Structure 1
Amino acid sequence: MKTLLLKYKSVIIFILTFLMVYVGFSFLYNWYLSVSETLNYYPDYITHLVAKQTEQLLATLGYNVQMLPHPNELSIKVILNGRYLARIIEGCNAISVIILFVSFVIAFSGKLKTTLVFLLAGSVLIYIVNLLRIVLLSIGLYHYPEYEHVLHTVIFPAIIYGMVFLLWVFWVNRFSKTNTHV
């Protein structure tokens, strides 16, 4: 048993680090959600911000857009050119995806400064791509409502998770301690 533990020490350390960081940040995020419900930023500040930024991007593209609090659930209704298309829920704000990204990078950490810069840049990139994803999904739902299922459950999750995967691969190959070329 001891030889197995020694043989797979780096894998065990990675898994334990990943789980500790992921659980820790998830706990903090759930605490944030429990204390963040206010009338000014419904349903929570980050989701509200994502909705407002999505609204601005859609308006810039020439759409008449409204983001209205949903009366029956913690979400924001997306109304494009007078048509109710979708709702933005807490899960649409990309924080859970960013937590997953951060947990992996920390578990495969490199030099402290490089790790922190990559975490910040990657998190901002994920946030921006998520905004663009919501904008494209809204436009897609408006023009092609018959493809709602494919757009929402296949294509757009593939965009965000595919990008996170590519960031992870880039991180491991360029900056992590496991890369001997650093």
Structure 2
Amino acid sequence: MIQLIRKYKSVLLFILTFLGMYLVLSFLYAQYLNVDFQKKYYPDYITHRVAEQSEWLIKKMDYSSMIEPHNQEPSMKLFVEDVFVARVVEGCNAVSVIILFASFVLAFFQGWGKTFSFIFIGVVLIYVINILRIAILSIGLYAYPEYKTVLHDIIFPGIIYGLVVFLWIFWVSRFKKQKS
């Protein structure tokens, strides 16, 4: 048993680090979600800001857009050309994806400077691409409502998760080059 642990020490260390960081960051995020933001930022600060920024970007793409708090669930309603096209819920703010991304990068730790610089750049990139994704998805849902399932469930999740996988591959390839 000890030989097996020694043989797979780096794999076990990766898994434990990844899971540990994922659990810690997810716990911290869950605590954040328990804060009452409803007075000013509904349903929470980050989700509210993502909805505002998506609305702004849609307007920059020459469509009218508006957001308003949903009165039946913790989300923001997003309108394009006065048509309700989407709910911006907590799951749309990309924080869970960012936690997954950061946990993986931390599991391949390469020193404080490199690791946290890459996490910072990745978080900004994921956040910006997520806003762009929501804006384009909303316009797509307005223009092509018959493709809602394909757009929402396949194409647009593929964009954000594809970006994360690309960033992971880039990070691991740099990690391997530095090890050899």
| Partner Cα distance (1:128, 1:12) in 2 | 33
Q: List gaps (5 residues or longer) in structure 2.
A: none
20-29 vs 36-45, greater mean Cα deviation: 36-45
Q: For residue 39 of structure 1, report the CA deviation from its aligned partner.
A: 1.8
The alpha carbon displacement at 1:111 in A equals 2.2
**Distance across 2 between alignment mates of 1:102 and 1:180:** 20
Match of 2:44 in 1: 44
Equivalent pairs: percent with the same residue? 53
Change (3 A) 1:99 1:36: farther
Contact 1:94-1:127 at 8 Å conserved across structures: yes
Distance in 2 (alpha carbons) for counterparts of 1:22 and 1:101: 9
Question: Counterpart of 2:98 in structure 1: which amino acid?
Answer: I
1:16 match = 16
Whole-Å separation in 1 of the counterparts to 2:154 and 2:92: 15
- Separation in 2, partners of 1:9, 1:113: 25
Matched, 1:145 2:145: yes
Q: Once superposed, which parts of structure 1, at least 4 consecutive aligned residues long, lie more than 4 Å away?
A: none
TM-score of the pair, normalised by structure 2: 0.97
| Matching residue of 1:88 | 88
Q: Which moved more, 1:17-26 or 1:110-119?
A: 110-119
Q: CA deviation at 1:109?
A: 1.0
Q: Is residue 158 of structure 2 the alignment partner of residue 155 of structure 1?
A: no
How far has the Cα of 1:18 moved from its partner? Answer: 0.4
**Alignment-mate amino acid for residue 129 of structure 2:** V
- Offset, 1:82: 1.1
Secondary structure of the 1:77 match is: strand
SS at match of 2:137: helix
Q: Distance in 1 between matches of 2:108 and 2:18?
A: 8
C-alpha distance in 2 between matches for 1:75 and 1:169: 33
Unaligned runs of 5+ in 1: none
Letter in 2 for 1:34: N
Map of 1:114-153 to 2, 5 A cutoff? Answer: 114-153=114-153
Q: Say which SS state the counterpart of residue 66 (structure 2) adopts.
A: strand
In the TM superposition, residue 37 of structure 1 has moved relative to its aligned partner by 2.6
Residue 25 of structure 2 corresponds to: 25
- Cα deviation for residue 181 of structure 1 reads 5.5
SS in 2 for 1:158: helix
1:66 paired to 2:66: yes
| Rounded Cα–Cα distance in structure 1 between residues aligned with 2:38 and 2:138 | 26
Give how far 1:63 is off.
1.2
Separation (CA, whole Å) in 2 of partners of 1:180 and 1:43: 43
Distance 1:170 1:40 in 2: 39
What count of residue pairs does the alignment treat as equivalent? 180
Letter in 1 for 2:21: V
Q: Does 1:164 align with 2:164?
A: yes
Amino acid of the structure 1 residue aligned with 2:62: G
